[in-house]
Structure 1
């Protein structure tokens, strides 16, 4: 067996290199994102590293063949196939029989139906390997979605839509066309969710979440944007009395931004702080991290903060967290009426599928994505377009 490592700017580019050298029988063993160091750590370039293998006996004896056995020669036949057999776009997909009074399909069309059925059936088995019988451009995108750890059900819906697009327009599409179509599908799937930064409709904004996800730094970034960009009069309240370092950190930010800060140990302190800041445009509230698995933590928060109609709460989630932990965190804090999530540590991971998984499967949008410790930089207002571009490897700090 011949094994070789390839490095390219994107998965499609790597797949072209592999196919050119090893042929269509090559197998992808592993793939990962790698970073090339720029000048003094800046201008880092993100590449993809792929390890591929080929059985040398197969390479010698087999001729390269198209990944699909039956070529579709005419666009009209593709359209007739899709019209008469009702391939459902955006679902896991199935092929219905033609109506009794419809024209008898040709052998070529029946072959195409059989091929499409085979592809969709294999998709429903939820294999984590790239399916050899996908058309090559879809095979590449399927590999990309698996690598980004996109949920299997979401991934299968996307591949189903790509297959329909391919068979409708096979003679006119290439890999870049399908990649752009995939972007459009993902953006459209996210658009029904609520996105965007704080709107100042509510005077009090609190951030909640487990320890270590960057709540205090994120709050300082929001404060800086509100002061510098929107000219708002801002104040801080912290209820994180469990760690002296946390109070000192927020006090440092308050001093830099020239805003007042109050520490609340109980609900009476919180009400006094609210009264003190009654003339301010925006009051940002920091909370303690602690162990998110402890329900008592959420109960304690409700004893300190008056979660009423004047307040919006955002859940802060680190993108370095496991998806299962994200779900546990969300369930634990759902009693606080979370408005949106804030995704942090986007600079510390190379896989972003869990961000899309979380939003689509929990029907909740995002306010911000943060990419580092710099205040007021390294925070970006979340949009469906930004989320998808992040998935496709765009550097948010460019």
Structure 2
């Protein structure tokens, strides 16, 4: 086996050098993080030292000769070492073949590690973490001082705020006749629509009515009826597009009509098509997509992609009290260029509903226990 030591600023850079020298079949034998002394104790720089190896191809003639003969015996320690190296080789091959290595932040000063670790744990996208890290480090070098945790958070907040600067935040303005709430099953659409309706009555004195298209679950209809009775608002049930038109006609005297759609697996195109046939989105209507903050980001993206053909005004995120991870919320806002109307963190109507603000999202990302 050929072996060579590499020194680089990051593991990613080291791997690139290894790949150039040994190709995709190389293996990492050891890796160590080293730190320079810096200047007057400041700007300590971390780097990685990596020892990589590569097994040279064995010629056909050599292959006929046993690797270990009776004259060369391996003890149990050697066996264990070889097994471990084989395991590491398998793991590192996968890493070396990856097109995009994850963001590495151990090259930054120790004083920055807490913030970067938190942002990574929050599942904030790598590009944004890199942008924050680079900006903080550049300012530290320019001012020749280590920033405190609060100073670093302030810079991070500035950058994150700028990323969301042009997106609409804030709740329903009740300027349109119909408020339509969409989303998959289990995200809390019915409770959310009841909270919004209660606010329209309490704060805006609007006379409301409800239409539910969730005819697949009797419990859902009864749940909406319970909320509607408390608000002294009528409920219409629509099983098809004809029923839907009739329901809107019956509620024409109301100031505002809330439409509670069925919760289905909207990753399936069929259910999206059914919804399109049922609801006339050309009406004087605002539509909101409700997502649970506990859902995996990849699954939320699949759902959003199915709804992109609808005129979605904003997101509504529920179940913030059931998660500690808020990076995916930020990632979705930025990538889909869409703001948030509300965030919900409980079942109480209408208390557990809050108009979304940029500051609220940033606080959830940066501060421990912010959602409590």
**TM > 0.5 between the two?**
yes
* Counterpart secondary structure, 2:309: helix
Partner of 2:39: 70
Deviations 1:84-104 (A, max 9, x none): xxxxxxxxxxxxxxxxxxxxx
* Counterpart secondary structure, 1:314: strand
Deviations 1:6-26 (A, max 9, x none): xxxxxxxxxxxxxxxxxxxxx
Residues 319 and 343 in structure 1, CA contact (< 8 A), matched pair in contact too: yes
Residues 119 and 366 in structure 2, CA contact (< 8 A), matched pair in contact too: no
Residues 321 and 371 in structure 2, CA contact (< 8 A), matched pair in contact too: no
CA distance in 2, matches of 1:276, 1:139: 60
* Counterpart secondary structure, 1:138: helix
How much does 1:126 deviate? 4.7
How much does 1:241 deviate? 0.8
CA distance in 2, matches of 1:127, 1:278: 55
CA distance in 2, matches of 1:328, 1:224: 31
Residues 67 and 134 in structure 1, CA contact (< 8 A), matched pair in contact too: no
* Counterpart secondary structure, 1:336: coil
CA distance in 2, matches of 1:224, 1:128: 45
263, 273, 284: which is aligned to 2:247?
273
CA distance in 2, matches of 1:227, 1:397: 27
Q: Does structure 1 residue 219 correspond to structure 2 residue 193?
A: yes
CA distance in 1, matches of 2:179, 2:152: 41
* Counterpart secondary structure, 1:155: helix
Residues 45 and 108 in structure 2, CA contact (< 8 A), matched pair in contact too: no
CA distance in 2, matches of 1:143, 1:204: 44
Partner of 1:158: 132
Partner of 1:251: 225
How much does 1:203 deviate? 1.4
Partner of 1:384: 358
CA distance in 2, matches of 1:157, 1:357: 14
Partner of 1:356: 330
Q: Does structure 1 residue 186 correspond to structure 2 residue 160?
A: yes
Unaligned runs of 5+ in 1: 1-57, 59-64, 74-111, 119-123
Q: Does structure 1 residue 293 correspond to structure 2 residue 293?
A: no
Partner of 2:288: 314
Residues 35 and 47 in structure 2, CA contact (< 8 A), matched pair in contact too: no
Residues 371 and 396 in structure 1, CA contact (< 8 A), matched pair in contact too: no
CA distance in 2, matches of 1:164, 1:281: 55
CA distance in 2, matches of 1:231, 1:382: 22
Partner of 2:182: 208
Deviations 1:139-168 (A, max 9, x none): 221111111111112211221222222222
The count of residues paired between Structure 1 and Structure 2 equals: 290
Q: For residues 1-398 of structure 1, what are the structure 2 equivalents within 5 Å? A: 69-71=38-40, 126-127=101-102, 130-131=105-106, 133-171=107-145, 173-393=147-367
* Counterpart secondary structure, 2:39: coil
RMSD: 2.7
How much does 1:128 deviate? 5.2
CA distance in 1, matches of 2:240, 2:367: 44
TM-score normalised according to structure 2 size: 0.72
Deviations 1:297-331 (A, max 9, x none): 11111121111141111111101100000000001
How much does 1:170 deviate? 3.4
How much does 1:393 deviate? 3.6
* Counterpart secondary structure, 1:159: helix
TM-score normalised according to structure 1 size: 0.68
CA distance in 1, matches of 2:100, 2:116: 14
How much does 1:176 deviate? 1.4
Structure with max Cα Rg: 2
Residues 36 and 45 in structure 2, CA contact (< 8 A), matched pair in contact too: no
Deviations 1:187-225 (A, max 9, x none): 221121111101122211111111001010100110111
CA distance in 2, matches of 1:130, 1:172: 16
Deviations 1:83-128 (A, max 9, x none): xxxxxxxxxxxxxxxxxxxxxxxxxxxxx8x96999xxxxx97545
Q: Which has the higher contact order (CA 8 A, sep 6+)?
A: 2
Mark the CA change 1:147 to 1:67 in structure 2 (over 3 Å): closer, same or farther. farther
